[in-house]
Amino acid sequence: MKTIAATMSGTVLQVLVQPGDRVESGQDVVILESMKMEVPVQATVGGTVKEVKVEVGAFVGDGDPLIELED
Amino acid sequence: MEIKKLLIANRGEIARRIIRTCRKRGIEVVAVYSDADQNLPYVKEADEAVRIGPPPVAQSYLNIDTIIRTAKEKKVDAIHPGYGLLSENATFARQVEEAGIRFIGPSSEVIALMGDKVKARQQMAAAGVPIVPGTPEGVKNVEEALIKAQEIGFPVMLKASAGGGGIGMIVCRSEDELSKAFPSTQGRAKAYFGDNTLFLEKYIEKPRHVEVQIVGDHKQNVVHLFERECSIQRRNQKVIEESLSPSISEKTRSRLYEAGVQAARAVGYTGVGTVEFLVDQDEQIYFLEMNTRLQVEHPVTEAITGLDLVELQLDLAAGKLLPFSQEQITATGHGIEYRIYAEDPTTFMPSPGKIEVFTAPQGEGIRIDAGVEAGNEVTPFYDPMIAKLVVHGKDREETLQRSREALSAFQIEGIRTNLPLLKEITTDPQFVSGKYDTHFLMNRTNSTRRN
């Protein structure tokens, strides 16, 4: 199990993947909005999306889990 | 009618700035704040402070009903909208007027006209103010956009009619780019501004962004308060502004003043406003937009003129006439403003967090307009600008020297800020020469990344 976490606090603007999607390391998976700016969060590792842990509009803190991946 | 009690429908540094003038004039101040801002200095400094909702702006600072209800409950005579947020929202201005409260700004009709970029262009063209070549009306679909773009000639700028602040505009260098950008820009325009009208303008290569500060009263007296050079930008947002502009000829300068005053007269502008222009490589000038409010960078103008622009706003809103003629206003020395952003100095990514240390420099010609102090939290809900350093000197050289010292002495810890970048810019040969355009920061970032 691998987790992609928020890189800063902000509001979830877009979730770009859904369960079952294959993601590559470096791919944008979530767009956060912080300080009026869109901040993409990238997958730090590759894998298959197991669970999306946030919804659009939710507020997340730095380090909060966003996506869980399985190999 | 004199204003005795005023509500500030804004936050942070500008709320604090407005409080300062109100104090000087003996005006009582009501501040409003969201849950994220309750510990900020402006909340403490106001005579009264009212909580208006949770942190997201839609539920607090953009909530027109709550703000007007608060204003009525507190029996204020006037509302100052600051900049951003509701400051250029014609619906808000109209509802304030209808509630019998004075809106510190021009009439809601002028705000509505200037907020509609397509109509504003038409009006300016009719008044003889030079505009960027483009479509006089909105373009309906991508097919029409492609035909019009051929007529104008690539590259073109695709823009949202209701847009502003750098959002909802994109450069398209080919038919392919325009076809791709059209639907997404339309979607964004709808989402951000509730209006998906798009129009096209010729893209001006390597432009400078120079704006003219104007002031008008209800008897149609209009004067300019010189220009501000605002070409140091990232993501179409200003970072450094200076007055006077170091790069334009005297001939261009007077053409800008003339066009700025002409633009304000054409719409019967009252209060303090700014007419933004692009200046191309041949020093042709083009009207870009008019900001019907106090600008973030107004202290640069205050530095060289010695005027208090908020005080002028209050007097003009109270129905007074301009206290001076054009000949009585003089520019002394040189002013530069540096916007301090809570962001990474190289990637420009936001950096929210707790401010552990905030020690601002002091000295001759140094002014600090800060929205925060040590111990405050910079939250992810609002604009990353936390403070402004404004430097004045007898000439540009002295102002730059004072800037270097002030920026070196400025200490902010706990969050990342762009202070290191600002400091570097003050010794950059191109910036020091004064010959720079709006691509300065982008070019600089690209070359830093390559090295």
In the CATH scheme, what architecture does the domain B133-202 have? 2-Layer Sandwich (3.30)
* B383 in A contact zone (CB under 8 Å): yes
Q: What is the per-residue pLDDT across B156-177, written as a single tens digit (0 to 9) for each?
A: 999 998 887 667 789 999 999 9
| The predicted structure's pLDDT at residue B450 | 46
* CA distance to partner chain B, nearest, from residue A62 (Å): 9
**What topology does CATH give the domain A2-58+65-70?**
OB fold (Dihydrolipoamide Acetyltransferase, E2P) (2.40.50)
Q: Determine whether the interchain pair A35/B56 forms a contact, defined as Cβ–Cβ distance below 8 Å.
A: no
| DSSP string over B12-24 | HHHHHHHHHHHHH
| The predicted structure's pLDDT at residue B162 | 85
With contact defined as beta carbons under 8 Å apart, do B33 and B16 qualify?
no
| The predicted structure's pLDDT at residue B166 | 66
Among B170, B381, B383, B418, the strongest candidate for a mutation testing the A interface, having the largest count of A CBs within 10 A, is: B381
Residue whose pair of structure tokens reads 């952003």 in the numeric block: B341
Which candidate from B380, B382, B384 shows the least CB-CB separation from A9?
B380
- Using omega within 30 degrees of 0 as the cis cutoff, is the peptide bond preceding A69 cis? no
* B35 in A contact zone (CB under 8 Å): no
Would you kindly state where each structural domain of chain A is located, as residue ranges? 2-58+65-70
Per-residue pLDDT of chain B (451 residues; tens, 9 = 90+): 789 999 999 999 999 999 999 999 999 999 999 999 999 999 999 999 999 999 999 999 999 999 999 999 999 999 999 999 999 999 999 999 999 999 999 999 999 999 988 899 999 999 999 999 999 889 999 999 999 999 999 999 999 988 876 677 899 999 999 999 999 999 888 887 888 999 999 999 899 999 999 999 999 999 999 999 999 998 878 999 999 999 999 999 999 999 999 999 999 999 999 999 999 999 999 999 999 999 999 999 999 999 999 999 999 999 999 999 999 999 999 999 999 999 988 888 899 999 999 999 999 999 999 999 999 999 999 999 999 999 999 999 999 999 999 999 999 999 999 999 999 999 999 999 999 999 999 888 776 544 4
**What topology does CATH give the domain B208-450?**
D-amino Acid Aminotransferase; Chain A, domain 1 (3.30.470)
| DSSP string over B190-215 | HHHHS---EEEEEPPSS-EEEEEEEE
Residue in A with minimal Cα distance to B378: A35
Q: Determine whether the interchain pair B384/A9 forms a contact, defined as Cβ–Cβ distance below 8 Å.
A: no
Q: In B, which residues are within 8 Å of A35 by CB distance?
A: 342-343, 350, 352, 380-384
Q: Determine whether the interchain pair B352/A11 forms a contact, defined as Cβ–Cβ distance below 8 Å.
A: no
* CA distance to partner chain A, nearest, from residue B255 (Å): 35
Would you kindly state where each structural domain of chain B is located, as residue ranges? 5-104, 133-202, 208-450
Do B5-104 and B208-450 come out as alike in CATH topology? no
Residue in A with minimal Cα distance to B351: A8
CATH class of the domain defined by B5-104: alpha beta
* B350 in A contact zone (CB under 8 Å): yes
CA distances from A58 to A32, B62, B430 (A): 10, 19, 44
Q: Determine whether the interchain pair A39/B349 forms a contact, defined as Cβ–Cβ distance below 8 Å.
A: yes
| The predicted structure's pLDDT at residue B443 | 87
| The predicted structure's pLDDT at residue B448 | 58
Alpha carbon distance B46, B49 (integer Å): 6
* CA distance to partner chain A, nearest, from residue B366 (Å): 27
B253 is catalytic: no
Does the ipTM exceed 0.85? no
Q: What is the per-residue pLDDT across A11-54, written as a single tens digit (0 to 9) for each?
A: 999 999 999 999 999 999 999 999 888 889 999 899 999 999 99
